């Protein structure tokens, strides 16, 4: 799966446009990802990701990088065996598209601010 385009509030994947925050799993897309505290990522916001047990988790923090990802959350995810990359969404899209396809990867994207 490849992300074809990203602009503020919109992501194009496999010919389909998404306008809400989303999580890309190896076999599906959750196109209604919502967080407990909108712009502060917490462990419970990633329950489905943790169940998936990815080797790599890419987090897109929004066009301007407004989504905050606390260092203790990153440490917790790494302790669970995940490599974690946190970038503004436009850069996270680039990372996702050039990822090592042999690694089980999940990507969570905030599409707006």
pLDDT band at 102, cuts 50/70/90? very high
Confidence band, pLDDT 50/70/90 cuts, at residue 100: very high
* Residue 100 to residue 13: CA distance in whole angstroms: 18
| 11: β partners | 6, 18
pTM exceeds 0.85, yes or no: yes
Q: Which band of pLDDT confidence, cut at 50, 70 and 90, is reported for residue 61?
A: very high
Task: Give me the mean pLDDT over the 88-94 stretch.
Answer: 98
């Amino acid at each position: 799966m490849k992300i074809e385009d990203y602009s503020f509030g919109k992501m194009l994947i496999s010919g389909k446009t998404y306008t809400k925050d989303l999580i890309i799993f190896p076999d599906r897309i959750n196109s209604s990802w919502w967080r407990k505290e909108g712009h502060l990522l917490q462990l419970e916001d990633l329950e489905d990701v943790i169940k998936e047990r990815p080797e790599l988790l890419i987090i897109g923090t929004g066009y301007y990088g407004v989504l905050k990802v606390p260092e203790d959350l990153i440490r917790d995810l790494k302790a669970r065996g995940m490599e974690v990359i946190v970038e503004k969404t436009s850069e996270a899209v680039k990372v996702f598209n050039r990822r090592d396809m042999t690694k089980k990867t999940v990507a969570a994207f905030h599409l707006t601010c």
